[in-house]
Amino acid sequence: QAKSDGRAHYKLFSEGMDQTIFEQIKLEQRLRKAVLHSDFYINYQPIIDMSTGSITSVEALLRWRDPELGVISPDKFIPIAEETGLIDALGKWVLEQALCDLARWHKHGHKISLAINVSGRQCINHQGESFSQILSKALIQYGIAPRYLHIEITETMLIDDEVQCLQTLEEVSSLGVDIYLDDFGTGYSSLAYLKGFPISVLKIDKSFIESALESNKDANLVKAIIIMGQSLQLKLVSEGVETQQQWDFLQKLGCDYAQGYFMSRPLSGKGLLSYLESKKEVMELIE
C-alpha cells in the first residue's frame, strides 16, 4: 500500500513538473518566433521633474503581443529571454526602436531623454562587440547626443558579474550615457556599489512608495534613501507614484523626479506624442 502511495505522489509531482516545463518550452518557442517577426512594441512612461512639473524623460517599457496568448508582461518573458540569450537581439531591437521614436520627438521640438532597461547579459561582450559599442553605434545612427540616453540597471546585475559589469558601465558612462540604479532597495546590493560604480541616479522602488503613507517605517526609509542619495550627489526618482498624497510627500522631501500612474500610465509612441503636444500648449498659454 505504502509503495503505491509513493508512486501516486511521484506521478503527481512529475506531472506538475512536466506541465511547468511544457509551458516554459512553449513560451520559449513562441518567444523565438516573436523575435524573428518583431512581435513587440514599446510603451513609454513619462518621468516628471518634481520642481517644475515638466516631463524630462520617458522610460521605454517593452511589450510582447503573441497572436495566441495575447499581451505578455515583461516580468514573465524577460527572464526567459535572459536564459535563452534572446535578450541580445531583443535588447538591440528596443534600443533602435526607442532611439528612432526619440529622434522623431526631437524633430517635433520635444527635447526629452530616454531611459532603457538593460539586463546583465547585455553587459557581456558578444561577437567581439561591447555593449558601449552597440550604444554608440545606435546613437550615431539615429543622430542622438549621448546625454539624451540613460540606461537602467538593477542591483542583482552588479553582483552577478562585478568585474565585467564595472568595466562595461565605466565605458558606457564615459560615452556620456548616465546610469540609473532601478528598483533601489529591493536587491542585495551593498552600499559600496554606490561608491564604486558610475551611478548617477537612484530609482526608489515602488514598493516603498506604495507603503510610505501607511507605515512610518517605510516613510522613514524613503526619507533616509533621499537624504543618502542627496549627500552622495545622486539624483532621485520615485517609481510608482499613484496619488496626490504620495506626490506631495515626496516633493516635500526634495525628491527630484517622479514616475507613476498619477502623472501618466505607460503610453504608446503616438500617445506620448499627443501627451507632449498637449503639455506644450499648456506651457505656451502660460508664457
How many residues can be counted in the chain?
287
User: By CB under 5 A, which span of 118-126, 164-172, 174-182, 250-258 interacts with Mg ion?
Assistant: 174-182
Q: Which is nearer to ligand C2E, 97 or 125 (CB)?
A: 97
Nearest in space to 43 (alpha carbons), one of 59, 66, 57: 59
Residue 117 engages Mg ion in binding (rule: CB under 5 A): yes
Q: Which is nearer to ligand C2E, 96 or 170 (CB)?
A: 96
Q: For the chain, where are the E strands, in sequence order?
A: 40-49, 55-66, 70-72, 113-117, 149-154, 178-184, 201-204, 235-238, 257-258
Using DSSP, state whether 84 is helix, strand or coil: helix
Angle 193-181-275 (CA atoms, 0-180°, nearest 5)?
Answer: 165
Size of interface with Mg ion, in residues (CB under 5 A): 5
Distance CA 191, CA 131 (A): 25
Q: Which is nearer to Mg ion, 125 or 200 (CB)?
A: 200
28 binds, among ligand C2E, Mg ion, none (CB under 5 to 8 A by kind): none
CB of 203 to Mg ion, least distance (A): 5
Site residues for ligand C2E per CB under 6 A: 45, 60-62, 73-75, 78, 94, 117-119, 152, 182-183, 206, 239-242, 259-261, 266
- 8 Å CB contact between 152 and 98: no
Using DSSP, state whether 197 is helix, strand or coil: coil
Q: Which is nearer to Mg ion, 123 or 143 (CB)?
A: 123
Residue 152 engages Mg ion in binding (rule: CB under 5 A): yes
Residue 178 engages Mg ion in binding (rule: CB under 5 A): no
Q: What is the binding site for Mg ion (CB under 5 A)?
A: 117, 152, 182-183, 239
